[in-house]
Chains A and B, each alone.
Chain A
């Protein structure tokens, strides 16, 4: 099974992820990427999630209850969970060791860097087939409305 494929997202949704990262700064935001798969993954909806980790601003956790609920909601719209997004306040838009350790196969993990409250790079990553680390995947931000 090939985990990495191209992830396509509209400029509007990409901006929404940037805004979420800025709003949560200096804590991390997190959310679900919902969409469809047809050769590539296409993000059609984003769902901000409650960060259930309150003890450490540099960690995020989406609870299974929350995830089950959003999965069923997306299913009603004939969409599925393609992956997740979160922000890295004042840190590079690259997966941390903690990200890799907790990553699931196949899902796309989008990361937005937020520098002193302003969003910067936006990247997307998937787990390597051997689970040894994460590999960057092609992120297509479409500009057409």
Chain B
């Protein structure tokens, strides 16, 4: 079949002055080959030495950039118009941008300087760059370590948490020696050790709508290593409003995602997820677990995208969502399109300033389970007094039971409880128990609803029991 190729004015000198040329082909690539065969003078202006399109040459099939279709493999139909559209670029004479490097820095970064894509110019850009990482946890650990090692001049970190033993399975910027200390202090000391040239700016504060713009505007790039939806929407909106790129990553159990949200060139987080999931539907890593290496992979991808952005090398993840499955060891990629109706980066934005993100994500609006509780001390006393007439139901999952359980308890996971009510004596005195006391309260509500009247929930769960009653029991 034959389609029409529209030639821009500057290239008509190579087509005998013609502004359109009809050419046969089944795909964009075949049409392009035909064009170059007929008008060889075009080649140097369209194709680079390795045979690919020059960076500043864009092909539009009708009104769509073929990079958003199937590139040169895009099939063509009669009546299609293929238009060659330049990107126009330039600038002032090259001035030495970025801060100069000392001899010691040249040596430290020599493996970077050997790469033409980085070189002295790129390394100076890294030194001048200001990157803000949200969170010094699972993602923030590998991310900040690699950014520091790579020579990013200023790394800001927002975190207000304290290093806990359960963190160390994945949060490799911290260590046993910094247990109990603020994560910021722990991370800053480690990053200074990795690279004393790095200036670590500490923001020991919870990022909120009241302070996000003020903090973020001081940085060139934001890397989101947060673990909750309100913060993700907050970071996204602040970055869109301030025109900053947002290097996104998230992890759960064995799966991770990464992208770069930059509203000036592509979609934002809201184009991908317009609404947060209902509260409680998506468990956090603290509830659902996470494989320790996973944040190492996703956080490293975030560091990579940040460094590429700073030095201007390669193709960024703008407009692409990378999905990683650790068990299958498989990467997949989804093309993301900007949503024209996006409430913050669309044509007619309805969000023009930061909002209440806790409320937006339904935090505080979830049904509150309330009911009588029993302390670990009272439970121990009553179990001794009443023996088997007091029924203790552990509503955790079997793999949690395997870590530790209270002698005499019965395992009925919360999800199985509705169909296993028949196993329980309606007149018995029941105590529900879980890890920290939240699931057991849901179980209590469920039992009350089913007509069980003498039910209490163990306050603080097995964790309180292990802390105060059975010291030596493993905690998790």
Contact = CB atoms under 8 A, between A and B. Distances in A.
Interface of A: 1, 3, 28, 30, 52-56, 58-65, 67-68, 71, 80-82, 84, 86, 88-89, 91-92, 94-99, 102-107, 109, 131
A34 to B, nearest CB: 11
Contacts of B10: 104-107
B9 A102 contact: no
11 contacts: A53-B89, A53-B91, A60-B90, A62-B87, A64-B65, A67-B85, A92-B93, A94-B93, A96-B91, A104-B10, A104-B45
Contacts of B14: 1
A128 B183 CA distance: 59
B95 to A, nearest CB: 6
Contacts of B265: 52, 63
Contact of B91 (A58, A84, A104): A58
B330 to A, nearest CB: 33
B88 interface: yes
Nearest to B310: A55
B27 interface: no
B91 A98 contact: yes
Contact of A95 (B56, B63, B90, B309): B90
B223 to A, nearest CB: 16
B88 A84 contact: yes
Nearest to B243: A54
B324 interface: no
A68 B13 contact: no
Given A55-B312, A58-B95, A61-B88, A105 B11 contact: yes
Closest 6 CB pairs of A and B: A1-B13, A59-B91, A106-B10, A64-B58, A96-B93, A99-B90
State the majority secondary structure of interface residues on B: mixed
A58 B87 contact: no
B52 interface: no
A55 B306 CA distance: 13
B261 interface: no
Given A55-B312, A96-B91, A102-B56, A80 B264 contact: no
A58 to B, nearest CB: 4
Chain B CB within 10 Å — which of A71, A81, A102 has the most?
A: A102
Contacts of A107: 9-10
Contacts of B144: none
Interface in B70-122: 83, 85-95, 97
A58 B45 contact: no
B85 A64 contact: yes
Given A56-B91, A56-B97, A60-B89, A80 B9 contact: yes
Given A68-B85, A92-B93, A106-B13, 12 more contacts: A59-B92, A61-B88, A67-B86, A68-B83, A95-B90, A96-B91, A98-B90, A98-B91, A102-B56, A102-B90, A106-B12, A131-B44
B60 interface: yes
A17 B198 CA distance: 42
Contacts of B83: 68
Contacts of B11: 104-106
B39 to A, nearest CB: 12
Interface string B9-33: 1111110000000000000000000
Contacts of A88: 92-93
Contacts of B65: 64-65
A64 B220 CA distance: 25
A38 B331 CA distance: 56
A106 to B, nearest CB: 4
B90 A59 contact: yes
A142 to B, nearest CB: 23
Nearest to B67: A64
A59 B202 CA distance: 32
B13 A105 contact: yes
Contact of A106 (B9, B220, B309, B312): B9
Nearest to B87: A64
Contacts of A131: 44
Contacts of B56: 102
A64 B88 CA distance: 8
Contacts of B91: 28, 53, 56, 58-60, 86, 96, 98-99
Interface string B271-296: 00000000000000000000000000
Contacts of A65: 65
